[in-house]
Chains A and B, each alone.
Chain A
Amino acid sequence: MTEPLLKVRGLKIGATVYPPGEKPRDIEIVHGVDFDLMPGKVLGLIGESGAGKSTIGLASMAYGRGGVKITGGEVWVNGRDILKSSLKDIRKLRGGEVTYVSQSAAASFNPAKQIMEQVTEAAILQGKFSKKDAEARAVELFRKLGLPDPENIGRRYPHQVSGGQLQRCMTALALCPEPDLVVFDEPTTALDVTTQIDVLAAIKDAIRDTGVAALYITHDLAVVAQVSDDIMVLKMGDMVEYGATDQIINHPREDYTKALVSVRSIEHPEKSPAGEPVLKCEHITARYKGTQFDVLHDVNVELYPGQTLAVVGESGSGKSTLARVITGLLPPRDGKIIFDGRELTPDLSSRPIDDLRELQMIYQMADTAMNPRQTVGTIIGRPLEFYFGLKGEAKQKRIQELLDEIELGKGFQDRYPAELSGGQKQRVCIARALAAKPKLIICDEVTSALDPLVADGILKLLLELQKIEDVAYLFITHDLATVRAIADSIAVMYQGRVQRYGGKTEVLTPPFDDYTDLLLSSVPEMKLGWLEDVLANRKMESAGN
Chain B
Amino acid sequence: MFTNIPVSAMIGLFFTALYFIAAIFAPFLAPYGMAEVVGDVWEPSSANHLLGTDNIGRDLLTRMIYGGRTTIFIATAATILSFVTGSVLGFLAAVLGGWADQVLSRLVDLLMSIPSLILALVVLAVLPVTVTTLILVMGLLDSTRVFRLSRAVAVDINVMDYVEAAKLRGEKRGWIIFREILPNALSPLVAEMGLRFIFMVLFISTLSFLGLGVQPPLADWGGIVKENKDGIVYGIGAALYPAIAIATLAISVNLVADWILNRTTSLKGGRG
Give residues in A with beta carbon < 8 Å to B.
19-22, 327-329, 348, 351, 353, 356-357, 360-361, 363, 365, 368-375, 382-383, 386, 415-419, 432, 436
Contact = CB atoms under 8 A, between A and B. Distances in A.
Contacts of B170: 351, 353, 356-357, 386
A372 B157 CA distance: 11
Interface of B: 160-162, 164-165, 167-171, 179-180, 183-184, 262-263, 265-266, 268-272
Most buried by B among A21, A327, A365, A375: A21
Nearest to B182: A373
A436 B170 CA distance: 12
A375 B263 CA distance: 18
Contact of A371 (B167, B184, B266): B184
Contacts of B272: 20
A386 B169 CA distance: 8
The 3 closest A-B pairs by CB, nearest first: A21-B266, A416-B269, A20-B266
A311 B252 CA distance: 57
B270 A418 contact: yes
A369 B162 CA distance: 4
Contacts of A348: 167-168
B74 to A, nearest CB: 33
A418 B269 contact: yes
30 contacts: A19-B266, A20-B265, A20-B266, A21-B262, A21-B265, A22-B266, A327-B168, A328-B168, A329-B164, A329-B167, A348-B167, A353-B170, A356-B168, A360-B168, A361-B168, A365-B161, A368-B161, A369-B165, A370-B162, A371-B180, A371-B183, A371-B184, A372-B184, A372-B270, A373-B183, A374-B183, A382-B169, A383-B169, A386-B169, A418-B268
A329 B168 contact: yes
Nearest to B272: A20
Most chain B CB atoms below 10 A, which of A20, A374, A375, A417:
A20
A405 B123 CA distance: 65
A21 B263 contact: yes
B160 A368 contact: yes
B93 to A, nearest CB: 19
Contacts of A436: 169
B178 to A, nearest CB: 12
A363 B161 contact: yes
Q: Is the interface of B mostly helix, strand, loop or mixed?
A: helix
A361 B266 CA distance: 30
Contacts of B169: 356, 382-383, 386, 436
Contacts of B268: 415-416, 418-419
B161 A372 contact: no
Contacts of B160: 368
Taking each of A329, A416, A418, A436, which has the highest tally of chain B beta carbons within 10 Å of its own beta carbon? A418
Contacts of B168: 327-329, 348, 356, 360-361
Contacts of A363: 161, 165
Nearest to A327: B168
Nearest to A367: B161
A386 B168 CA distance: 12
A252 to B, nearest CB: 37
A348 B168 CA distance: 7
A353 B272 CA distance: 33
Nearest to A418: B269
Contacts of A22: 266
Contacts of A368: 160-162
Contact of A374 (B167, B269, B270): B269
Contacts of B184: 371-373
A372 B269 CA distance: 5
Contact of B269 (A21, A383, A417, A432): A417
| Most chain B beta-carbon contacts within 10 A, residue among A328, A369, A432 | A369
Nearest to B184: A373
B19 to A, nearest CB: 26
A436 B165 CA distance: 12
B254 to A, nearest CB: 17
Contacts of B165: 361, 363, 369, 432
A525 B167 CA distance: 40
A416 B266 CA distance: 12
A379 to B, nearest CB: 9
Contacts of A371: 162, 179-180, 183-184
Contacts of B270: 20, 372, 418
B159 to A, nearest CB: 9
Contacts of A356: 168-170
A84 B233 CA distance: 64
A348 B164 CA distance: 11
B53 to A, nearest CB: 47
Nearest to A419: B268
B95 to A, nearest CB: 14
Contacts of A353: 170
A543 to B, nearest CB: 28
Given A21-B266, A329-B164, A386-B171, 15 more contacts: A20-B262, A329-B168, A361-B165, A363-B161, A365-B161, A369-B161, A371-B162, A371-B179, A371-B183, A371-B184, A373-B183, A373-B184, A373-B269, A416-B268, A419-B268
B180 to A, nearest CB: 6
A19 B269 CA distance: 13
A286 B270 CA distance: 38
A327 B168 CA distance: 7
Contacts of A357: 170
Contacts of A360: 168
